[in-house]
Amino acid sequence: MKESAEMRQRYLTTVKGILAMEKTAVESELKNKTGILDGKLFAKIITAGAANIRANAEMINALNVFPVPDGDTGSNMSMTMDNGAAALSGEELTLFEAAEAVSQGMLMGARGNSGVILSQFFYGVARGLEGMTEADAVQIGRAMKEGVKRAYSAVMKPAEGTILTVARESVEYAVANINENSDAISVFSDMTEEAERSLERTPELLPILKEAGVVDSGGMGLLKIMEGMTAVLEGKSVTYEAPSAMQKSTAAKAGGFGVDSEMTYGYCTELLLQLQNSKTDVINFDMDNLNAFLASVGNSIVSFMNGSIVKIHVHTLTPEKVLEFCRRYGEFLTVKIENMSVQHTGLEEEKKDEKPVIEKEFGIVAVCSGEGMKETFEGIGADVVIDGGQTNNPSAGDFLQAFKNVSAEHIFVFPNNSNIILAAKQAADMYKDADVRVIESKSIGAGYVGISSFDTSSGDTDEIEAEINDSMAEVETANISVAVRDAAINGVNIRKGDIMGLIGKLVAISTPDIKKAIAGVIDKLFSNVKRFMLTVFCGAEADASVTEFLKNYFKEKVANGEIYLINGGQSVYPYILVAE
Amino acid sequence: MSFAVFTDTSANLPTPMIKEKNIHIVPFLYYYDGKESACLDTEQFDGHAFYDMIREGVKVNTTQINPHKYVEYMRPVVESGEDIIFVGMSSGISGSFNSLRLAAAELMEKFPDRKVCLVDALTASLGEGIPVLKAVELRDAGVEVEEAERQLNDFCKKMCSVFMVDDLMHLKRTGRLSGAVAFIGTVLQLKPLMKGDETGHIVNIGKARGRRRAIETLAEKYDALAVEPENQLVGIAHADCEEEANYLAELLNKNHPPKELLMVCYEPVTGSHVGPGTIALFFEGDEDVRRK
């Protein structure tokens, strides 16, 4: 508690310092001017806001209610702002054109709940500035109020003590203070002043913050953005460098794969294999054996046998192994090997605006992180897996790309994290080429159960969706993790280094002994006698003897229970337990 | 005039019962690790060890009985002047029934006064064993052989065989799965539900999430489809999962307790096709029950 109180103090007194970076120095031209906001100035305040939140992103990430190293609000908001800034082309734009470009960029780049709320805020601001070449204090105030309205409507159940409160209170305060002497500078500095006070009040509104001894991370993010904006308006120098991901790589321009490119996507390998009697028993050729081999060297496997010819499609980093293996059984009729990095960048450049070809009726997009998880989700039927999770929220743009890649008429999306659902929904609203349904799977466990229950036999999209939701209704997911600091949450005292069992959003148990933590979690999960099935994702830090204990404890505890162990390889959580 | 009752070991009847009821039995053969074994005394069969071995990855193969073998088994009985009713494993899942047909034709050609009547059980395990016991009843009641054949064929059509397998891989590997499977069979938690259809083939009828729910679904089938269960002998066969088989028995007894319940461990031949962890339920329904 002492430590986190100190941290809080430190955050709150963080100077409005802005990282000085090289490149494009943005200097205020407002001095001695009218205080009118135009397109050029709008672009400057956006980049200044983006610069300041980036400088503070790590500090904001650490404002996590749970003492788990998985906070990512700062990174999410920073990346969302970066996408807004990147959308500005550098041409002379009217105020509305600039605001519209920024809001579109942010809608696409929105990550995490706070990022989505932020993007909706700027979308509202753009609506409030519609048709304007410039705006005075009153008009700025009106646009900001539009932004607040829009931000609130982005969330189904708006909670106070969050970024929403900070946005609303700061805008209300600034608008109330507008008089004949007001200008853009005074509006923004009033907003920033009140944002700081509002942020300090968030623990009073949201008990979980108070208990954890932190202020709201999203609110802090908004404050940092406003500080950057105000600083540049007040004439301070702010530098902003677009992150490297926003810059187009020269390799991509040169055709996708160059001397320094990394082989990440592997080769799309397709071949027709003529089985031969001299090499194998053609009639009894074992496709399972072949598929098992292909799975060991690649993914996206499609294989079938027609007569004595085997057709294979596989994505692999080692096509030579595939060729070598297959030749043990016959000779090739055709072989095609394509570097998918070339394909990939080529696709990005050339086919950006092409409409996807609809290849099937139903498709599934899922979010998870780690190779083991990805394989597991593909194995149960996900068509496209977006790499992401608690510490790495995918953007709305990532979802849009995934929707294109699925090329299905109806797409079911499993965000698998409560902080990713909004971005998925935002993308679903933006996507017009398919009927996209976002399933509100708030955990890996819920998503796993939902996808593995996926059944299209009814053929009715609404019914399929309802069945998925039914299957997830009884599911409870628990995470086992190590506490990175002392804390007290839901009345549970947590010491740094403790093993915590988190069931949903509740800390069920915290103890130095991982076996005790696991036993405690299993006891709680299966106090509901209707449950009998446990799926365990073993993480990168899972220990074989602990896993054995887990298995035995479950079998003792739950009569006729069923346990399934999956090698998820996830970080942060040695075990994820899914009870149903 | 009386007749002799024949069956094969896939009928899954316990050896003491076979002896007590004077049933002739043709043993099926199976191979693994280059060794041949015959299904013989059920009392000697260690089901737990056998199915654990399959769980560990040992592949068990089976082979159909050729006509000559069938003739060898039946000839002494026919020679002694007795007719035969042979209840055999489904023609939809094994070529043995065809061998049996050829053997019967050969014997009747050589012994024109004798009858060798065949009953296609259209299923295996106790779905075949229960009709065998019915044949014993008819024999003991002195029913004439052709009348018994007719009644048994009707009875087999009404025999409902539904079962849960733990992993479809086994049925797929040995080519015993007919028709399409409507879901991806790779999700560990989804348990395929199967039935023997009206032509004696094994088809997928759905899935359940988890073994317990699959067992409950089997019990629901029984509650919905069993005709006069209070007068029936109902069968349960399990491939090394007795505790769960007991749970199924408990569920059956809850709403419509059957007159009698026979529970067995799957014998190795059929068991190697359905795989460890299979639980099967056999009961009598109406004439259309195999289509339901």
The answer to whether A455 contacts B182, with C-beta atoms less than 8 Å apart, is yes
Helix A544-557 crosses helix A514-525 at what angle (to 10 degrees)? 30
Give the nearest partner residue to A532 out of B184, B188, B212, using CB atoms. Answer: B212
**A71 & A216 share domain:** yes
Domain extent, residue A506, equals 476-579
Q: Touching check for A567 and chain B: CB below 8 Å?
A: no
What pLDDT score was predicted for residue A357? 66
Let me know if residue A171 belongs to a domain.
Answer: yes
- pTM (2 d.p.): 0.69
Kindly give the pairing relationship between strand A408-414 and strand A435-438: parallel
Structure tokens at A163: 């970024």
In SS3 terms, B38-73 reads as ECCCHHHCCHHHHHHHHHCCCCCEEECCCHHHHHHH
- Residue A124 and residue A207 in one domain: yes
Instruction: For residues A249 and A237, give the distance between their C-alpha atoms in angstroms, rounded to a whole number.
Output: 29
The verdict on A490 and A540 lying in the same domain is: yes
Q: Tell me, yes or no, if A378 comes closer than 8 A to chain B by beta carbon.
A: no
CB contact under 8 A, B184 and A471: no
Q: Is A262 exposed, middle or buried (0-12, 13-18, 19+ CB in 10 A)?
A: exposed
User: Which chain B residues in 225-244 lie under 8 Å from chain A, judged by CB atoms?
Assistant: 243-244
Nearest to B190 among A288, A452, A457 (CB): A452
**CA of A533: which chain B residue's CA is closest?**
B210
Q: How close is the nearest chain A Cα to the Cα of B172, in Å?
A: 10
Bridge partners for B116 per DSSP = B84
CB contact under 8 A, B183 and A564: no
Nearest-CA distance A272 → chain B (Å): 24
Domain count, chain A: 4
Question: What's at A71, amino acid-wise?
Answer: G
Q: Touching check for B250 and chain A: CB below 8 Å?
A: no
- Joined together, the tokens standing for residue B291 give 């289509």
What's chain A's Rg over C-alpha atoms? 27
DSSP letter at A193 equals H
Q: Tell me, yes or no, if A152 comes closer than 8 A to chain B by beta carbon.
A: no
Neighbour tally for A234: CB within 10 Å = 15
Q: Provide the β-strand partners of residue B193.
A: B164, B206
Residue A288 and residue B186: Cβ atoms within 8 Å?
no
* Range B182-185, long-range pairs (CB < 8 A, 24+ positions): B182/A455, B182/A457, B182/B206, B182/B207, B183/A455, B183/A457, B183/B207, B184/A380, B184/A381
Q: Which residue has the tokens 């009404």?
A: B158
Among the partner-chain residues A381, A457, A535, the one whose CB lies closest to the CB of B189 is A535
* Residue A508 sits in the same domain as residue A437: no
Q: End of a domain among A242, A277, A297?
A: A242
Between helix A95-109 and helix A112-128 the angle, nearest 10°, is: 160
Distance from CA of A460 to the nearest CA of B (A): 15
Domains annotated for chain B, with CATH where assigned, are 3-157 (3.40.50.10170), 159-291 (3.30.1180.10)
Mean pLDDT lowest among A508-517, B36-45, B228-237? B36-45
Spatial distance between the Cα atoms of B86 and B100, rounded to a whole number of angstroms: 9
Residues A159 and A61 sit within 8 Å (Cβ to Cβ): no
- Which residues in chain A are contacts of B211 at CB distance < 8 A? 560, 562
Q: Which residue of B has its CA nearest to A379?
A: B186
Same domain, residue pair A535 and A429 = no
Determine contact, residues A576/A539, Cβ cutoff 8 Å: yes
Per-residue pLDDT, averaged over B196-212, amounts to: 90
Judge whether B189 is closer than 8 Å to chain A, CB to CB: yes
With respect to residue A442, please indicate whether it lies within any of the assigned structural domains. Answer: yes
Q: Establish if B111 touches chain A: CB-CB under 8 angstroms.
A: no
CATH number of the domain that residue A369 is part of: 3.40.50.510
Whether residue A154 is contained in a domain is answered as: yes
Half-sphere exposure of B133 (CA within 13 A, CB side): 20
- Sequence-ordered list of residues with C-beta below 8 angstroms from that of A378, at least 6 positions apart, any chain: A299, A300, A385
Name residue, tokens 């944002």. A195
Instruction: Choose one of A471, A491, A517: the last residue of a domain.
Output: A471
B188 in A contact zone (CB under 8 Å): yes
**A282 and A363 both lie in a single domain:** no
Length of chain B: 292
Closest by Cα among A27, A126, A43, A49 to A91: A43
pLDDT over 60 (residue B17): yes
Pair A466, A575 in one domain: no
Query: With an 8 Å Cβ cutoff, is A4 touching chain B?
Result: no
Cα A443 to Cα A420: distance, rounded to the nearest angstrom:
10
Chain B residues touching residue A532 (CB < 8 angstroms): 210, 212
Closest CB from B182, B188, B247 relative to A564: B188
Q: Is A379 within 8 Å of B190 when comparing Cβ atoms?
A: no
CA A482 to chain centre: 22
CA dihedral B196, B201, B202, B205 (to 10 degrees): -70
Q: In chain A, whose CA is at the least distance from the CA of B185?
A: A380
Give residues with Cβ within 8 angstroms of B292, minimum separation 6.
Answer: B160, B225, B285
In sequence order, the 6+-apart residues with CB closer than 8 A to the CB of A267 are: A315, A316, A317, A319, A337, A338, A339, A340
**Among candidates B242, B275, B225, which has minimal Cα distance to B234?**
B225
Same domain (yes/no): A52, A147:
yes
Interface with chain B: mutation pick from A380, A448, A458, A474, highest number of B CBs within 10 Å? A380
- Nearest alpha-carbon partner for B58 in B187, B173, B138: B173
Judged by CB atoms closer than 8 Å, whether chains meet at B212 and A453 is answered as no
* Lookup: tokens for B67: 């006509």
Which residues on B lie below 8 Å from A564 (Cβ)?
Answer: 188-189
Q: Which of B273, B271, B251, B269 is nearest to B261 (CA)?
A: B251
Chain A closest-CA separation from residue B86 CA (Å): 33
Residue for token digits 């900070």?
A166
Q: Decide if A528 is inside a domain.
A: yes
Asked if residue A550 belongs to a domain, the reply is yes
Instruction: State the pLDDT at residue B183.
Output: 57
Question: Residue A32's Cα: distance from chain center in Å?
Answer: 43
Does A222 map to a domain? yes
Rounded CA-CA distance A12/A197 in Å is 10
**A288, A309, A339: which is the final residue of a domain?**
A339
- The CATH number of the domain holding residue A6 is 1.25.40.340
Judge: A452–B187 Cβ closer than 8 Å, yes or no: yes
Distance CA B247, CA B101 (A): 39
Determine contact, residues A243/A53, Cβ cutoff 8 Å.
Answer: no
B242's tokens: 């007795």
Chain B's closest residue to A377, CA to CA, is B187
First to last CA, chain B: 38
Which run of H or of E encompasses A412? strand A408-414
Task: Yes or no: say if B196 and B171 are a contact pair by the CB < 8 Å rule.
Answer: no
Closest CA to B200 of B239, B153, B150, B238: B153
- Among residues A580, A519, A579, A508, the alpha carbon closest in space to that of A549 is found at A519
Residue of B187, B212, B244 lying closest to A380 (CB–CB): B187
Counting as low any pLDDT under 50, the low residues of chain A are: 1-34, 247-255, 343-353
Residue A98: phi and psi, rounded to 5, are -65, -45
Q: In A370-513, where does DSSP find H-type helix? A: 371-379, 396-406, 421-430, 444-452, 461-473
Regarding whether A235 and A176 lie in a shared domain, the answer is yes
Helix (H, G, I), strand (E, B) or coil at A478: strand
State whether residue B173 sits within 8 Å of chain A by CB: yes
Query: Which residues of chain A have a CB within 8 Å of the CB of B182?
Result: 455, 457
Q: Is position A257 within any domain?
A: no
Regarding an ipTM greater than 0.85, the answer is: no
Q: What is the pLDDT of residue A13?
A: 37
Tokens of A450: 């939902």
Strand positions, DSSP E, A48-163: 134-135
A414, A380: one domain: yes
A79 occurs within a structural domain = yes
3-class DSSP string for chain B: CCEEEEEEHHHCCCHHHHHHCCCEEECCEEEECCEEEECCCHHHCCHHHHHHHHHCCCCCEEECCCHHHHHHHHHHHHHCCCEEEEEECCCCCCCHHHHHHHHHHHHHHHCCCCCEEEEECCCCCHHHHHHHHHHHHHHHCCCCHHHHHHHHHHHHHHEEEEEECCCCHHHHHCCCCCCCCCCCCCCCCEEEEEEECCCCCEEEEEEEECHHHHHHHHHHHHHHHCCCHHHCEEEEEECCCHHHHHHHHHHHHHHCCCCEEEEEECCHHHHHHHCCCCEEEEEECCCCHHHC
Whole-angstrom CA distances from A169 to A37, A228, A340, A502 are 22, 19, 50, 33
The larger pLDDT score, comparing residue B142 to residue A358, is at B142
Interface with chain A: mutation pick from B168, B169, B186, B188, highest number of A CBs within 10 Å: B188
Nearest CA in chain A to B248: A560
**A559 shares its domain with A417:** no
* pLDDT confidence of residue A559: 83
Same domain, A319 and A447: no
Q: Give me the CATH number covering residue A279.
A: 3.30.70.120
Strands, DSSP E only, in A282-407? 298-306, 309-316, 330-339, 360-368, 384-387
